[in-house]
Chain A
Amino acid sequence: MRLRGVGRRYGLGGPWVLRGIDLELAPGSLVRVEGTNGSGKSTLLRLLAGIDAPSAGRITGRPRTAYVPERFPAELPLSARGYLVHLGRIHGLGRTAAERGAGEWLERFGAAGHADTALTELSKGSSQKVAVAQALLGAPGLLVLDEAWTGLDRAARAELDAAVAERVAAGGTVVFVDHDPRRLSGAADTVLRVADARLTPVAAHRPDASGPRPKGPEDDAGPWVAVVTEGPPGTGLPPDLPGAPRHEPLAPGRVGPGPVRLTVGAAHSDALLRALLTAHPPWHIRSVTELPVTAATPPEGP
């Protein structure tokens, strides 16, 4: 997806909220947008989502898109499930797939008990869960989140983080704004700052790194990352994990399956996490730690 010279102003002679924006969004990337209140972040997200048309310039190659607004006071005469099934079908799902997806996403966000509640009777947090579910339901190629975490409880926020990682791992583009600077920190491939109607790239905040870390096999000599992960009972590690990690059981004396510690070159950690999270069935990530360079030992072979 490409933006060329994109600008937006409201009204014919109004001031430019955004101007001269050139941007390319790659599939499988996670993009954070920063800026002060009223700087035009939401306008940028609306342009990306296709809700607003640019007043100048062109946007091309937009994939199937879903959008989550910051507040979702949906005064609609439908139940949560009914609304999600309608939106699922608008996203192009068949009836059965939409019904199954509606149930699954409400369940993931802990709102399955409200499936048949009228939208008008839902609390603010539960409404927000419905808003998030409608966007994830259609597995969109572009997911635009305008402070979508606001109003969600802690478990649902974590679930949304996981869902965003899944979208990115599946090759989708996710663009988000959130007031919490730690939101998905380290995972964002690009950070963009909106100020004075312009868009400037900012170095992504990665822990212990001043700028984006170069990726590639030569980086194997660099720092190591330990990932503690746990699979469903009775399943072995997924084959062909990226970066060929060294693995050791965390509790060697324990009977049966337990957490496994994987050590991998830092450059491969994102890909490794993606592979674990998207395995069938998915693996649960318990912790990710960057090992100090001196303490890390090269793998002795997988």
Chain B
Amino acid sequence: MTALLRYQAALLVRSQRWLSPVLLYAAFMGIAVRAGDPVLDSFGYAAAALLPVAAWLVRVCTGTEPAAARTCAAAAAGPARAHLASVLTALLGALALGTVGTLYVALIGDPHTADHRTGIPLGRATAAGLLAALACALLGTAVGALCNRPLLRGPGWAVSATAVTTLLVLVAGASPANAAVSGLVEGSHTGAVPLPLLPLAVTCLAAAGATALACALSSRRT
């Protein structure tokens, strides 16, 4: 699996197709997060923005290899493992980006509530921000795994399904990503810093289930 991950990471980095999602994330952070903003609000933005970026990175990673090269790697390692490696590479990329984004917020954000009156423990807040980013990256990966090859193959369907699903899981009240982000935003008003452990557990299950389904179908829908 290490060799597969190294191969997929080399493809991702050298293809430069990571550039668009990363620029999207950077642009969003530049607009939504300013120095001196309440830190928990900014953590919420940083986490929410990561969800579409993670879904996009899955699309990039599962689509970089031409079919001929994919069959060669699939014969050597098994199609399911090859597909798992591409999804994991996207998740690792999203996590690296999310970590950078969250630490950037921790550096420039104001560790107070939204009304700037009550102080917020920055260490615990950063931990909550990182966990929320992790939850959003996992759910974005689940969306990406379900909305791309091998489940959806036409680019039109794949891109529109990704966009609609991403929007849904960000705004729907029942979504764990929404729960993680709104937990941070509420905390910014009350001064309490909840760690989004339950949303994280749910997104873990969602990502594992979606990826397992995509990997299982990778040798059946070709």
Contacts and interface: CB of A to CB of B under 8 A. Distances in A.
B118 interface: no
Contact of B72 (A55, A64, A82, A87): A87
Contacts of B78: 50
- Which 5 pairs, one residue from A and one from B, show the smallest C-beta to C-beta distance? A67-B75, A77-B14, A89-B3, A53-B219, A86-B7
A46 B222 contact: yes
A1 to B, nearest CB: 14
A208 B142 CA distance: 61
Contacts of B79: 50-51, 53
A75 interface: yes
A86 B6 CA distance: 8
B73 A90 contact: yes
A71 B66 CA distance: 11
A16 interface: no
B66 A90 contact: no
A51 B76 contact: no
Contacts of A46: 71, 222
A67 to B, nearest CB: 3
Chain B interface mostly:
helix
Interface string A52-77: 11010000000011111101111111
Interface string A98-112: 000000000000000
17 contacts: A49-B71, A50-B75, A50-B78, A51-B71, A53-B219, A66-B72, A69-B71, A71-B68, A75-B66, A76-B64, A77-B11, A78-B14, A87-B7, A87-B72, A90-B73, A131-B68, A135-B72
Nearest to B80: A53
A144 B68 contact: no
A73 B76 contact: no
B10 interface: yes
A138 interface: yes
B103 interface: no
B186 interface: no
A247 interface: no
A157 interface: no
Q: Size class of A's contact patch? A: 35 or more
Contacts of B117: none
Given A50-B219, A53-B219, A76 B76 contact: no
B68 A87 contact: no
A134 interface: yes
Given A82-B10, A86-B3, A51 B68 contact: no
A138 B76 contact: yes
A144 B75 contact: yes
A83 B68 CA distance: 13
A82 B73 CA distance: 14
B219 A90 contact: no
B151 interface: no
B75 A78 contact: no
Nearest to A86: B7
A222 to B, nearest CB: 40
Nearest to B79: A51
Nearest to B16: A77
Contacts of A89: 3, 6-7
A118 B16 CA distance: 15
A138 B74 CA distance: 14
Contacts of B74: 50-51, 67
B71 A67 contact: yes
A246 interface: no
Given A46-B222, A78-B11, A78-B14, A72 B68 contact: yes
Contacts of B208: none
A67 B78 CA distance: 11
B69 to A, nearest CB: 5
Nearest to A70: B68
Given A76-B11, A87-B73, A53 B220 contact: yes
Contacts of A74: 66, 68-69
A52 B66 contact: no
A96 to B, nearest CB: 14
